[in-house]
Structure 1
Amino acid sequence: MTWHLLATESWDDVYNSPDVDQAYNSFIGKASTALNTACPLKKSRPKGKLKSALINNDDVCHLKKEYLQALNNQILRGREEDKALTAAKKKDYDLKLKQLKQQDTTNFIQNAENK
């Protein structure tokens, strides 16, 4: 769609401008207009800050280190036992993160002021 908008645009002022800066500004103006028309910016809410419970939790840090060590062993050795161990460590780590996220969400809802 952007190419169609650019193809229908008149480029005479870009080609016939006496100054390079003027040609550049004209080109950028037309290109950015076409791009903004074809791909408008999405408005979104800013995401909340990173959950401190997930970052500062000793269990999570320990499980992450264990998972990364198992992953390194799997990459280095390539054995099936290492692959199974890595999958188990990843599952433990993911479940702990899920539990903490649920707990954090529950706490956020309970402490919300707009109930």
Structure 2
Amino acid sequence: MQHTEWLSATAKGDSRREIGRRSGISFRTIADQIDRGRISAENVIAIAIGYGQHPVTALVDCEYLPAHFAGTADPVAALREASVDELAEETLRRMKRSSPKAE
């Protein structure tokens, strides 16, 4: 999707000044990027957040990120969020699954 198309759909007619205000981007920066037809990835994220949209979806829509990343969690981040008990349970489950059955 073209960046300007994405921005039009996201901002729904807001002025460049309003887009900048809602996203914390200077008017000159957002105006220059709109005129060039290419909004930086950082500003796509800021605009998406400013308009209550998911930034990963915005990055996919603007082709900064391949779509397959939108539906997956970062495994390292997920592991860091898991409790010790959850990690132990998962480890045990995998160990049981891969071990041959006792006869």
Interval containing the TM-score (normalised by the shorter chain): under 0.3
With normalisation by structure 2, the TM-score equals 0.21
> Larger Rg: 1 or 2?
1
Greater fraction of residues in helix: 1
With normalisation by structure 1, the TM-score equals 0.19
